[in-house]
Homo-oligomer: A and B are copies of this chain.
Amino acid sequence: MEETYEALSEISKAFAHPTRLRILELLSVDEACVCHLTHILDKRQAYVSQQLGVLRDAGLVDVRRDGQMIYYRLADARAAGVLSLLKDLALGSNPKLRYDPVPRVPVAGCPCPRCNEADTCCCAS
């Protein structure tokens, strides 16, 4: 009866980090490769991989490889729900905060196909 709350806290801990929250928010819009996340977050690649590892270990994200790129996506759409409710809670305590929607845009300098091929780019249609 106590260990089940250990499991719950393991998942909660994965949320409890600013960079990981941003990653989850980006992934709730669309799957993304590490290079894409790295460019958007403006962090070192190794650091982003570490945070992705934490999310992976917690079971919050799934991974798929496509050639050289590795794409991450939410393992469960309810993770986006948690994120959304957390934002509501935060806004409740401090209405000055802003959580604007994050569009899926091509990132200059990102080598992934989605940022470079017009037909697969999100801004193509």
Q: Would you call A121 an interface residue if the criterion is a C-beta within 8 Å of the partner chain's C-beta atoms? A: no
Interface SS majority for chain A: helix
CA distance A39 to B89 in the complex (A): 29
A82 touches B85 (CB 8 A): yes
B82, B88, B90, B94: the one contacting A86 at CB < 8 Å is B82
A85 touches B87 (CB 8 A): no
Quickly give the copy total for this chain.
Answer: 2
A1-35 near B? 1/0 per residue, CB < 8 Å: 01011111101110111110110000000000000
Chain A interface residue bracket vs B: 35 or more
Selecting from A64-72, A73-81, A109-117, the interface stretch reads A73-81
